[in-house]
Amino acid sequence: MTSFRRILVWGLILCSLTAAAACRKKEVGPPSSSGRTLDIAVIPKGTTHEFWKAIHSGAARAGRELGVKILWKGPQREDDRAQQITVVEDFISRGVDGIVLAPLDDRALCAPVRDAVREGIPVVIIDSGLQGSDFISFVATDNTKGGVLAARRLVEILGGSGDIFLIRYQEGSASTTEREQGFLDTMMKDYPAIRILVKDQHAGTTTESAYQLAENLLGRFPDVDGIFCPNESSTFGTLRALQESGLAGKVKFVGFDSSPKLVQGLRDGHIHGLVLQNPTRMGYLGVVLAVKHLRGETVEARIDTGVTIATGETMDTPEIKALLEPEFFQDRD
Amino acid sequence: MTRSPADDLVLRMEDISKSYGATCALAGVRFELRRGEVHALLGENGAGKSTLVKVLSGAVRPDAGRMSIGGVPYLPAGPIDGKRCGVSMIYQELTLCPHLTVEENIMLGKEPRRRGVVRPAEMRRRVREVLDFMRHPEIAAEVPVRKLSVGAKQIVEIARALVDEARILVMDEPTSSLTLDDSEELFRIIHRLKERGVAIIYISHFLEEVRRVADVFTVLRDGRNAGSGRMADAPLEAIIRMMVGQEFKELFPRIPHDIGEVLLSLDGLKGRAMQAEIGLALRKGEILGIAGLIGSGRTETLRAVFGLDPIERGTVTIGRVRFEAGQPWERIEQGLGLLSEDRQGEGLALSQSIADNVTLSRLGPFSRSGVLSLGRRREVVAGLMERVKVKGRHPGEPVAVLSGGNQQKVALARLLHQEADILLLDEPTRGIDVMSKAQIYEWIGRLAAQGKAVLFVSSYLPELLGVCDTIAVFHRGRVVDSRPASAWDGAGILQAAAVGRTGADREEAKP
Amino acid sequence: MSGHDKARIKILLNWLAPFLGLILVIALFSLMPEVRERFLRPANFKSVATQSVIVALGALGMTFIIISGGIDLSAASNIALSSVVVAYAVNVGAPPPAALAAGILCGGLVGFVNGGLITTLRLVPFIVTLGMMGIARGVAKWMAGNQKIDAPLTWINGLMAKSPRPSWLLLAPGVWLMIVFAVLMAFVLRRTVFGRHVFAIGSNEATARLCGIRTRRAKVLIYSLSGLFCGLAGVMEYSRLTVGDPTVAVGLELDIIAAVVIGGGSLAGGEGSILGTLIGVFIMSFLRNGCTMMGWPNYIQEIIIGAIIVAAVGLDQVRHRRAA
């Protein structure tokens, strides 16, 4: 009986090997790279937040304009470093022509990026930094500047003094840590009259976890005067907590990034300032730089896509409106 | 077929055939059932009784044959369809929901309702009616079934069939887990059901019991009709002859054996599940039978000896060593082996192979520093299977595919392989066919002749009387009396088991 | 057809079903024109193998637990904790072998505690390991100070390198470890007394006791062994991430359990095999890999993997019904 089984196993293995070999023989070899559209993989940190949808839309526009194919794929959760590594590796295996990556971790993604470079695949880093210098360009918001802007705006509406929270985003996320740092440094250096009640609490990656944290903090310090959140999910979670506890509008609130709900909050006076990046431009430039590099042009090593602040008064000006409500990528092709 | 009026004929099955692959389970079987009749369906395990009953219930579709109920052709699409046509089954393993109450169980699936809302009063009324009819008003309708004794559960099961307006009731080994008292009660209920015109198909291995309760019988052998007739006209020997198909001389083969020194003695032993202290002594080469009602503490005693239940008081002496506690693995090392009464729940790992089940308690002979030699094990197991007559099976097959009798032989083979010196056998012949029983009696005799000591718990008095050297009778957790088998007769044992017993000890039914 | 043949065919079918699944998945992507020629490249198989190491190591231990009729929900948390322990140890200047041992032993300790609680308190494995899932995750976050731990690079980080340092290794050392341990564990499961005891306990614990198996001791051993494998998986996770991340592998226990189940393991106990489990792991890895290469969105692979789990368990049920 065992011998029967053994024969069968080997038979199966042989079959699959010959099938594999046959498949490969039929292929005449990869078509030369000049005569075919380029495949550019764009790997965000996550796929659900509005921010990434805007990046997708920018990348897709660049794809249309330059005639390259965009492969869009991110990890399922925004803190899954291991899965993002897997996605990068799989795209390397597929042999894409270029990779645009928003690394979840400034260190963990170094090895796969190095693998890509070794395979001759250029990598453009967007949104968050990566250690080392294996990538051809870094396209991102100047996050520290964003934090500074937020701090100035919060002090302005508080009238120079008050008690505030800094609700942090997630451990190990470089871009938000820079925003938080910029915010904190500005507060401590320039505005000694501001008291920071909370500065070491992390909201986590989901709206739900941010909501819970904000709810708990508001329960403990109901007399807080101002709050800053460094990204969209934490801003929205905190906004919901403020609205639920009836403090919305009373507590001065500055957030980061945009989404329809946050725009509505700005309009209702529940949010007093939103620091805006330009994700569409980031996605667009990421792809453009990768293609330029592939076409033999030199590209800049660092591009700042800029930050602006939107307030209730400025939100309807055309340039702010464009940032507040970027075109989102809708259909998957 | 002219002696009864045609309208008395409730069920007619003709030329029923059914094959599973190459095995022919039924070949042209004929079966007729009349109103108000108790019809015993007899045969060894594998003779086709359960297949025939499954065909009747609708669970199995026959390959060929015709059925009619009350003259109307009957071709059930499934068990539910069968039930609708008045065929109800009462299985060996009860099929009640333990957490639901008596009335919920009885009315399950047919709750009286108005616009989807259950009508509790109507439900209660119908349940009371049927329990009263069975003369069991003491069973409370609102009690969860798990709190009832096994006997009461069976009554609930029958009540459920009655509410279904069953015309044909199939009882498969209904008394196998009942106490004597509960069995008597069951027979009374069967009598009342007969008066009501219900026809009953009665399957049992207890031939004496069948003789008492059945009017007519049909014997199946190898999937064919082997004989039928009126119970009163046929002597027991004739029926057994029909079942086994050969002259059945020695059901209890006597193998001469000598009795030596005491190997196992219990002194004031009380395990956690036991009701009182027990003292017993088992000698080398002795077959000591233990009789008693279910719940009299027989199984519990064996479990305490074997270390399956913790010992509270007293000692177990094995050879010359006294123990106040012990685990099963220690007892096995000391030469004990236990055959569990619960073959499927405890005795065997059903999904595992025959080889695994036989060798689990002693893997030593095939292993060197923990690594097994599977080839050698297969040889040894094949040899054992030959010895215990598990036929046509491969050691690698899972035990689940074997018949009850063969499963029991596998469990016994484990004790043989273990080379246990002291065998504790708990109901070793329950629910298995006559041939297998006879083989088991023979081994017990041979083991005793080899100088092993056997403790033989059974509820079947003829086998105790036929096989044992000594018989001890348990009652309410105590040893009533222990005498040589020749000094007992069936009536004496029954009386000893029942002395001082009131109707109140239903609660003592085993957990 | 004789009983022998029937039994043989049944054993064969049980054993083949997962293989067919794997071949089907590979065939599916081999037929896709976009990725076909890339998908079947040795380099891609190499990266799939590397991606499978962590789940596979966890699943080796889980196979023992599931065969014994238990479950370990804390596996993924245990992996995270072990990876943090390694990073922590490297960070405080422990020599790499010591850090590696610390990670593995930490995993083993968590498993030992699981087994101890299950046997002494007589609690259901589901509850004990559900609790341990939170405890281990919490301890990991606490040890890491709610951050990731950046530890200096050592040779441990080379364990999961797709291009191994001595290049004659061909595959990452982690992949070799996975293969060696899989062969070893398959041997232990099939050919040793301990392995037979694991099956017996899962098939019917009462029988196991009746046959003199010291079930408690065996269970503690099974959970500890599984913990050790989680610890090793944690080391590999650290090696891959180069940081000790307490939030890594959330939900990975379900992937691990799914791999065992797809490979023919029965949650009722008494059934399963190392080969099947590995096939389960590779089915999921190849699916992820193929879906990514195709650029398909995540939800497609989630739906496919979900469907495969249900199909595998359905098959399990059918097999059981046929056996009954």
Give the pLDDT of residue C235. Answer: 95
* Contact check, Cβ <8 Å, A20/C30: yes
pLDDT tens track of chain A, all 333 residues? 445 555 555 555 554 544 444 444 333 333 334 457 899 999 999 877 778 888 999 999 999 999 999 999 988 777 788 889 999 999 998 889 999 999 988 888 998 999 899 989 999 999 888 888 889 999 998 999 999 999 999 999 999 889 999 999 987 777 889 999 999 999 999 999 999 998 888 888 777 888 888 988 888 888 999 999 999 889 999 998 998 888 999 999 999 988 888 999 999 999 999 999 998 999 999 999 999 999 999 999 999 998 999 998 898 898 898 888 877 665 443
Give the pLDDT of residue B43. Answer: 83
Lowest mean pLDDT among B49-63, B130-144, C4-18, C186-200: C4-18
Cβ neighbour number for residue C317 with a 10 Å cutoff: 11
Distance from CA of C227 to the nearest CA of B (A): 22
Interface of C with A in 92-121 (CB under 8 A): none
Alpha-carbon radius of gyration of chain C? 20
What CATH homologous superfamily does A36-141+279-305 map to?
Response regulator (3.40.50.2300)
Residue intervals of chain B classified under CATH 3.40.50.300 are 6-244, 251-335+420-511
* Contact check, Cβ <8 Å, C241/A85: yes
* Contact check, Cβ <8 Å, B360/C206: no
Percent of chain C with pLDDT over 70: 94
Rounded to whole angstroms, how far apart are CA atoms A102 and A74?
9
Q: What is the mean pLDDT of residues C61-88?
A: 96
Please tell me if residue A94 touches chain C, with a CB cutoff of 8 Å: yes
Give the pLDDT of residue B505. Answer: 38
Rounded to whole angstroms, how far apart are CA atoms B331 and C34?
67
Please tell me if residue A8 touches chain C, with a CB cutoff of 8 Å: yes
Domain-wise residue ranges, chain A: 36-141+279-305, 143-276
Give the pLDDT of residue B4. Answer: 47
* Contact check, Cβ <8 Å, C323/B400: yes
Q: Which of C4, C194, C196 has its CB closest to that of B360?
A: C196
Mutation target for B interface from C185, C203, C216: give the one with most B CBs within 10 A: C203
* Contact check, Cβ <8 Å, A118/C163: yes
In A, which residues are within 8 Å of C247 by CB distance?
79, 171
Distance from CA of B173 to the nearest CA of C (A): 19
The residues that bridge with A255 in the sheet, in sequence order, are A274
Give the pLDDT of residue B339. Answer: 94
Q: Which residue has the tokens 């650029």?
A: C295
Give the pLDDT of residue C7. Answer: 65
Please tell me if residue A85 touches chain C, with a CB cutoff of 8 Å: yes
**pLDDT confidence tier of residue C135, bands split at 50, 70 and 90:** very high
Q: Give residue-wise pLDDT tens across range B125-179.
A: 888 888 888 888 888 888 888 888 877 888 888 888 888 888 899 998 887 777 7
* Contact check, Cβ <8 Å, B346/C204: yes
Neighbours of chain C (3+ CB pairs under 8 A): A, B
Distance from CA of B464 to the nearest CA of C (A): 25
Q: Which residue has the higher pLDDT, C188 or B392?
A: C188
- B435 has a pLDDT exceeding 90: no
Q: Which of A76, A93, A107 has its CB closest to that of C43?
A: A93
Please tell me if residue C142 touches chain A, with a CB cutoff of 8 Å: no
- C101 has a pLDDT exceeding 90: yes
Domain B6-244 adopts which CATH fold?
Answer: Rossmann fold (3.40.50)
Q: Give residue-wise pLDDT tens across range B250-285.
A: 567 778 888 999 999 999 999 988 888 999 999 999
Distance from CA of C268 to the nearest CA of B (A): 10
Angle between helices C274-294 and C3-30 (to 10 degrees): 20
Mutation target for C interface from B360, B416, B425, B426: give the one with most C CBs within 10 A: B360
Rounded to whole angstroms, how far apart are CA atoms C202 and C266?
9
Distance, CA of B312 to chain centre: 31
Nearest CA in chain B to C270: B351
- B100 has a pLDDT exceeding 50: yes
* Contact check, Cβ <8 Å, C270/B352: yes
In A, which residues are within 8 Å of C52 by CB distance?
none
In C, which residues are within 8 Å of B367 by CB distance?
192-193
Distance from CA of C207 to the nearest CA of B (A): 5
Q: Which residue has the higher pLDDT, B401 or A230?
A: A230
Rounded to whole angstroms, how far apart are CA atoms B83 and B105?
16
In C, which residues are within 8 Å of A5 by CB distance?
12, 15
* Contact check, Cβ <8 Å, C196/B372: yes
Please tell me if residue C322 touches chain B, with a CB cutoff of 8 Å: no
Give the pLDDT of residue A26. Answer: 38
Rounded to whole angstroms, how far apart are CA atoms A105 and C82?
19
Give the pLDDT of residue C173. Answer: 92
Nearest CA in chain B to C5: B394
Question: Mapping DSSP to helix (H, G, I), strand (E, B) and coil, where does residue B202 land?
Answer: strand
Q: What is the mean pLDDT of residues B441-448?
A: 91
In C, which residues are within 8 Å of B374 by CB distance?
190-191
Domain B251-335+420-511 adopts which CATH fold?
Answer: Rossmann fold (3.40.50)
Please tell me if residue C251 touches chain B, with a CB cutoff of 8 Å: no
Please tell me if residue A216 touches chain C, with a CB cutoff of 8 Å: no
Give the pLDDT of residue B255. Answer: 81
**pLDDT confidence tier of residue B510, bands split at 50, 70 and 90:** very low
In C, which residues are within 8 Å of B357 by CB distance?
207
What CATH homologous superfamily does A143-276 map to?
Response regulator (3.40.50.2300)
Give the pLDDT of residue C115. Answer: 97
Nearest CA in chain A to C31: A23
Q: Which of C1, C194, C203 has its CB closest to that of B352?
A: C203
Q: What is the mean pLDDT of residues C66-92?
A: 95
**pLDDT confidence tier of residue C140, bands split at 50, 70 and 90:** very high
Contact between B316 and B305 (Cβ < 8 Å): yes
Give the pLDDT of residue B254. Answer: 77
Please tell me if residue C46 touches chain B, with a CB cutoff of 8 Å: no
- Computed over every residue of chain B, the mean pLDDT equals 85
**pLDDT confidence tier of residue B503, bands split at 50, 70 and 90:** very low
Please tell me if residue C210 touches chain B, with a CB cutoff of 8 Å: yes
Distance from CA of B410 to the nearest CA of C (A): 13
Please tell me if residue C146 touches chain B, with a CB cutoff of 8 Å: no
Domain-wise residue ranges, chain C: 52-250
Give the pLDDT of residue B219. Answer: 92
Sorted by sequence, the CB contacts under 8 Å of residue B484 that are 6+ apart come out as B469, B470, B471
Q: Give residue-wise pLDDT tens across range B2-17.
A: 444 556 889 999 999 9
Sorted by sequence, the CB contacts under 8 Å of residue B148 that are 6+ apart come out as B102, B139, B156
Rounded to whole angstroms, how far apart are CA atoms C31 and A2?
33
Q: Give residue-wise pLDDT tens across range C220-260.
A: 999 999 999 999 999 999 998 888 888 888 889 999 999 99
Distance from CA of C109 to the nearest CA of A (A): 24
Mutation target for C interface from A26, A36, A81, A104: give the one with most C CBs within 10 A: A81
Please tell me if residue A171 touches chain C, with a CB cutoff of 8 Å: yes
Give the pLDDT of residue B230. Answer: 92
Rounded to whole angstroms, how far apart are CA atoms B294 and B175?
11
- Computed over every residue of chain C, the mean pLDDT equals 88
Evaluate whether A36-141+279-305 and A143-276 have a shared fold.
yes
Contact between A77 and C28 (Cβ < 8 Å): no
HEC-encoded secondary structure of chain C = CCHHHHHHHHHHHHHHHHHHHHHHHHHHHHCCCCCHHHHCCHHHHHHHHHHHHHHHHHHHHHHHHHHCCCCCCCHHHHHHHHHHHHHHHHHCCCCHHHHHHHHHHHHHHHHHHHHHHHHHCCCCHHHHHHHHHHHHHHHHHHHCCCCCEECCCCHHHHCCCCCCCCHHHCCCHHHHHHHHHHHHHHHHHHHEHHHHHHHHHHHCHHHHHHCCCCHHHHHHHHHHHHHHHHHHHHHHHHHHHCEECCCCCCCHHHHHHHHHHHCCCCCCCCCCCHHHHHHHHHHHHHHHHHHHHHCCCHHHHHHHHHHHHHHHHHHHHHHHHHHC
Please tell me if residue C324 touches chain B, with a CB cutoff of 8 Å: yes
Q: What is the mean pLDDT of residues C110-135?
A: 95
| Angstrom distances, CA of residue C213 to CA of B11, B252, B363 | 52, 35, 11
Which tokens hold the place of B449?
Answer: 């002749």
Please tell me if residue C293 touches chain A, with a CB cutoff of 8 Å: yes
Q: Which of B338, B347, B363 has its CB closest to that of C193?
A: B363
Sheet holding B199-203, edge to edge: B87-90, B168-172, B199-203, B38-42, B216-221, B224-230
In B, which residues are within 8 Å of C191 by CB distance?
371-372, 374
* Contact check, Cβ <8 Å, A8/C12: yes
Please tell me if residue C240 touches chain A, with a CB cutoff of 8 Å: yes
Please tell me if residue A79 touches chain C, with a CB cutoff of 8 Å: yes
